[in-house]
Amino acid sequence: MPLLNRTISPGLLGLALGALTLLPASALAERIFVSNEKDNTISVIDGASLEVVETISVGRRPRSMAFSSDGSELFVAVGDDEAIDMIDLETLQVVRSQASGDDPEVIRVDPNRPYIYVSNEDDNIVSVLDYERRTLVTEIPVGVEPEGLGISPDGRWLVSTTETSNMAHIIDTETMEAVHHRLVGARPRHAEFTHDGREAWVSAEIAGTVSILDMEETFDVKHVIRFEVPGVPQETVQAVGIALTSDGRYGFVALGPSNRVAVVDQQTYEVLDYILVGQRVWHLALNGDESRLYTTNGVSGDVTMIEVDSLRAVKSIPVGRFPWGVIVEP
Amino acid sequence: MSTLPRAFRWLALGGLALGLGWSPLVPADTPASIVVGYLGMERPDDQEPLSVLDPVIDDEGLQGARLGLNDNNATAQFLGQEFVLHEAVVAQGGDVGEALESLVEQGVEWIVSGLPAAALNEVMAHPARGDRVVFNAWAPDDELRGEACHPELYHTTPSRRMLADALAQFLGFKQWDRWALVYGNTDEDRILADVLRASAERYGHRVVGDRMWPHDPMARRAEGGFHAIQREIPVFLQDLPEHDVLVIADETDYFGEYFPFQTWAPRPVVGTQGLMATPWHRAHESWGAVQLQRRFEKLADRWMTPRDFGAWLALRSLGEAAARTGSVEREAVLDYMLSDEFELAGYLGFPVSYRTWNHQLRQPILITGPRMVASVSPQEGYLHPRTPLDALGADEGESQCRF
């Protein structure tokens, strides 16, 4: 029920109606949230008009975002405040804030329990927070500078990447212990599970690679995807954000300062295309029906919307300074 | 008593090296060791930073090695490896050979040098070194990477030429092409002045005039010193030809800090003071550098310097190569370090790696003011067939190094 209320909020009603005749229904209800690392704000983009309709003030240095399991709140890791800000998705206000430990960067939400997993870069740990009881559940030691976190669709496995150890630590969420440690490319940034839970894709910024971890049996790296953008210095080809379509068709990889998004065949790992977007493309998010891919472009300060069918960049939307993460309301 | 554990370590090392060849994961209770020695020299008594805001540091370099050790071991614990660090810091004019011998006796297999060029050359020629590899984390001399290069000598700190080229690229980006040069009367400053002239030529700048500052070491704390400086410097500079920037070569930090805001013409001061080219700076926080700065400050209770960074890079090079190869054996580690596969994350945006022709670590260089980073070189638009990083310093074709 709260979902309905939200989409027909008076402010958006006019915009939504205006666009009704032009766009497919799916894009209408869509709100895209973008964390502006340098501005301490979240930009809210309306999916129909592709314009910023709201800017939410949050704590200092907002980066990773995640929705609560019931979809009522947006969690934002605000690194310099050492907290997770929680935004009510009806009022678009920060309604509470929970201490997170040192320098939270990436967060993920457990699909079954009211837990937030937080990578604390300074302390070499992954913290587990209970956002209902507002307590610290436990701390899981990993390597140096934990950054990326990926959680399996069934919630059983958590993958934590550590930037200086260059490892993917595979954490059993039942025992809350890291049980496997696998070397991946230099400065691993992001971990994303395929929707069937069989693989975890781990990007490495400095190596410019994506390592595919087998999550069924061996937990080993079973393939490494490399990228080469013609006419672009290889050092600038750095792999960061990853988005995987649920039909198993495409994997999208943000390639940082090469200003491209790679399109990868999720089954064969073949790189199919490179799409030019804004400067220093960082993170990616698919929308609800996976017809659109949104990218944050840190240096140019905008968000690019890519049409998944045609694999074309359609529009870039100016947001705040240094947009870092992006997430689309389900 | 003291020989027993050492002998045991050698046994453990020999036994484990075999096992590691098969699998990168061995039980954590029997780690394979890499034993590193840090060999440094005390700071000369008369060399303190000119500004009272800069701390006088007595453990420069050493703390970087210690942090590198901690970082390596945080990863090594998952891989059945272990890093051990032994430290030796000799007095000014002390016996470097003796310190080297004692490190070798403690089982040191790799050496990180916090020594100036002359003492480093002594170490390279000393029989106790055997064929152990030395990482130069301190001396910027191009000669060590050129005519005096050595196949077992690696350089994690940039050469003077790399720093000068990095600055020249940035000044090219600004189109500040006319340089006036002021250099000190030390050997280092005369060498740096020549290096700056070479960089100016490479990147299309003109040194329109130069002056040698005839300095004597001045009292660091002198009340009212600026009254004299305020009158002296404009007069010293007033008949230089029209220029865009004033380039200072003062490596020992005797006089350069006096120059900003005291010039005859209203021109920025760049070089060793003012806007500087440096491998590391406290103001640098991009690409996750803030994490390294924080870890260092927690450990050392002070800021990380370029020399600390050089020592950290040496330890991390070993850590990365040992982790990737699953080996602690010298040959395997070195092969990997010199291969195309080796990519170390140095918090500078681009991966850093070793040049095969002189074993210099190629790395981005910060262009920074005293309190804020202005840019990072290589600058956009300066191309190179291999990597833009190789546009900084002696390239393969021009290097005088022959291994």
pTM (two decimals): 0.86
Omega into B378 within 30° of 0, i.e. cis?
Answer: yes
Residues of A in contact with B344 (CB under 8 A): 186, 206
Q: Give the minimum alpha-carbon distance from A5 to chain B in angstroms, rounded to a whole number.
A: 41
Structure tokens at B355: 């040049």
CA distance linking residue A150 with residue A241, whole number of Å: 12
For A222-258, how does the pLDDT look when each residue is reduced to its tens digit (9 = 90+)?
999 999 999 898 889 999 999 999 999 999 999 999 9
Burial B334-343 (b: 16+ CB within 10 A, else e): bebbbeeebb
SS3 B301: coil
Q: Are A53 and A11 in contact (CB under 8 A)?
A: yes
Residue A39 pLDDT > 90, yes or no?
A: yes
CA distance linking residue B380 with residue A132, whole number of Å: 49
Residues of B in contact with A207 (CB under 8 A): 343, 351
CA distance linking residue A262 with residue A237, whole number of Å: 10
Tokens 């982790």 belong to which residue?
Answer: B323
Residue A3 pLDDT > 50, yes or no?
A: no
CA distance linking residue B396 with residue B400, whole number of Å: 9
Q: Are A148 and A106 in contact (CB under 8 A)?
A: yes
Contact A181 B78 (CB under 8 A): yes
Tokens 């002696």 belong to which residue?
Answer: B394
CB pairs under 8 A between A and B: 66
Instruction: Using the Cα atoms of residue A102, residue A107, residue A108 and residue A112 in order, give the sign of their dihedral.
Output: positive
Q: Chain B within 8 Å of A183 (Cβ-Cβ)?
A: yes
**From the list A143, A183, A207, which residue is nearest B24 (CB)?**
A183
CA distance linking residue B201 with residue B182, whole number of Å: 17
Q: Which domains does chain B have, with CATH numbers?
A: 3-158+281-363 (3.40.50.2300), 161-278 (3.40.50.2300)
Contact A257 B349 (CB under 8 A): yes
Residue to mutate among A166, A179, A236, with most B CBs inside 10 A, is A166
Residue A86 pLDDT > 70, yes or no?
A: yes
Q: Please indicate whether residue A8 or residue A284 has the higher confidence score (pLDDT).
A: A284
Residue to mutate among B67, B73, B77, B78, with most A CBs inside 10 A, is B78
Q: What confidence category does residue A179 fall into, taking pLDDT thresholds of 50, 70 and 90?
A: very high
Structure tokens at A289: 């029906």
Q: What is the pLDDT of residue B51?
A: 85
A149: β partners: A160
For residue A102, the 8-state DSSP code is: S
Residues of A in contact with B288 (CB under 8 A): 121, 145, 163, 187
Chain mean position to CA B190: 20
The amino acid sitting at B205 is: H
The amino acid sitting at B151 is: P
Contact B345 A257 (CB under 8 A): no
pLDDT, one tens digit for every residue, chain B (403 residues): 333 333 333 333 333 333 333 334 444 467 899 999 999 999 888 778 888 888 899 999 999 999 999 999 999 988 999 999 999 999 998 999 999 999 999 999 999 999 999 999 999 999 999 999 999 999 999 999 999 999 999 999 999 999 999 999 999 999 999 999 999 999 999 999 999 999 999 999 999 999 999 876 665 555 556 777 888 899 999 999 999 999 999 998 888 999 999 999 999 999 999 999 999 999 999 998 999 999 999 999 999 999 999 999 999 999 999 999 999 999 999 999 999 999 999 999 999 999 999 999 999 999 999 999 999 999 999 999 999 999 999 999 999 999 8
The amino acid sitting at A252 is: F
Residues of A in contact with B295 (CB under 8 A): 122
For A251-295, how does the pLDDT look when each residue is reduced to its tens digit (9 = 90+)?
999 999 999 999 999 999 999 999 999 999 999 999 999 999 999
Q: Are A173 and A183 in contact (CB under 8 A)?
A: no
Cα A308–Cα A310–Cα A315 angle in degrees, nearest 5: 75
Query: Other CB atoms closer than 10 Å to residue B306's CB: what's the count?
Result: 21
Contact A166 B344 (CB under 8 A): no
Contact A144 B351 (CB under 8 A): no
